Amino acid sequence: MPQTTEQKELREVVRSMLDDLATESAVRKQMAADTFDHALWNVMATDIGLQGLAIPERYGGAGAGWVEQGLVFEELGQRLACVPYLSTVGLATAALLAADEPARERWLPEIAGGSVTATVAVPGKPVSGWYFGDLGVSAVRSGPVWRLTGDAPYVLDGDTADLVLVAARSADGIGVYAVEGVMAAPVGTSDQTRRIASLTFTGTPATRIGGAEVAAAAHRAGITMLACEQAGGAAFCLDQAVQYARVRRQFGRPIGSFQAVQHHCADMLIAVETARSAAWRAVRGLDSDEPADRVATLAAGAACGEAYAFCASMNVQIHGGIGYTWEHFAQMHVKRSRGSLVLLGSPAQHRRALMSSDEVLAGS
């Protein structure tokens, strides 16, 4: 995607920051911690203002838009930075931008400033054509307060988020509710660079911030930003594989001279370019509600997840036995790619939603 001078400079600034603060050793150290990388998060917020890129200026953000956010997600996806950026920016910010005005005024300035982290308990059964899984939480009005009851499993950064936005069903239909302070139990996964938690609500007080359209907005932006992250991860795996193929020698010559390895790298390049094209087509349409843009989001969700998983696996294959070891960074991208593949809906789920959408049926 063609980039402006400002966008190129943003990418370089983010890359330089990650060179200093999100090294492999720093990521490994954070994997063993019981929280996210607060030092990196604070630099992102106070020194560069990354959390507020897509937030309008009247709420304390930069008003730059989602394209700039996508650039940041690409870079974060390459480094596996252990910060709640996808949950806070990709999901919660998008939800709040579609929410009621009091909710926007209350939380967006704090998110833009980096003082609040947030997440969205996104269910999965198709509602408004966007998200998948059952609504495991119900909402009942008790005077001026709403109360939530139920469970929300596998919530991204659910155990560290200051603010949780929950999709729940009430007598009035599906709504999204804001909760501060939730019973959370960490859920162990193979990808230790992401934090997943199971949330329990037992008559928990909540504030309704909007209807199903809020959850749909969060899921659409989340899929798109995750696609950018996956495209970045796939590109990193390709670069790492090519670099290794140039220096690793067998039978007296670099393994990159072997036709089989060349074919693997060529296939990875095709996957990377496909992922980038799909991701940036979805990003450009994120602020639009045109039917074709909704289709682009689902297409990116399917294409980018598969491209990342493929490139991560091929990177390990090219590295050979060392790529499987704990000491090598390649296996960490394999784990991240597999977790990301189902985080906001699997490629198969995205394709089913895509083929059943009114936009596709109308054009068939």
What are the φ/ψ torsions at residue 112 (nearest 5 degrees)? Answer: -60, -35
- Name the token pair of 189: 């996964």
Q: Determine the pLDDT at residue 353.
A: 82
Question: Model pTM greater than 0.75?
Answer: yes
Contact 185, 159 (CB under 8 A): yes
Q: SS3 string of the chain?
A: CCCCHHHHHHHHHHHHHHHHHCCHHHHHHHHCCCCCCHHHHHHHHHHHCHHHCCCCHHHCCCCCCHHHHHHHHHHHHHHCCCCCHHHHHHHHHHHHHCCCHHHHHHHHHHHHHCCCCEEEECCECCCCCCCECCCCEEEEEECCEEEEEEEEEEEECCCCCCEEEEEEEECCEEEEEEECCCEEEEECCCCCCCCEEEEEEEEEEEEEEEEHHHHHHHHHHHHHHHHHHHHHHHHHHHHHHHHHHHHCEECCEEHHHCHHHHHHHHHHHHHHHHHHHHHHHHHHCCCCCCHHHHHHHHHHHHHHHHHHHHHHHHHHHHHHHHHHCCCCCHHHHHHHHHHHCCCCCCHHHHHHHHHCCHHHHHHC
- Name the token pair of 5: 């001078």
CA 82 – CA 27 distance, rounded (Å)? 7
Q: Do domains 5-116 and 215-363 have the same CATH topology?
A: no
What top-level class would CATH report for the domain 119-211?
mainly beta
Contact 283, 66 (CB under 8 A): yes
Contact 164, 179 (CB under 8 A): yes
CA 258 – CA 261 distance, rounded (Å)? 6
Q: Does domain 5-116 have CATH number 1.10.540.10?
A: yes
Contact 351, 310 (CB under 8 A): no
Residue 189 neighbours by CB distance under 10 Å = 14
Q: Determine the pLDDT at residue 278.
A: 96
Q: Determine the pLDDT at residue 107.
A: 96
Contact 212, 175 (CB under 8 A): yes
Q: Does domain 215-363 have CATH number 1.20.140.10?
A: yes
- Given a cut of 50, the residues of the chain with pLDDT beneath it are 124-133, 359-364
β-strand partners of 132: 124
Non-local (6+) Cβ contacts of 184 within 8 A are 155, 158, 159, 197, 198, 199, 200
β-strand partners of 208: 177
Domain boundaries, the chain: 5-116, 119-211, 215-363
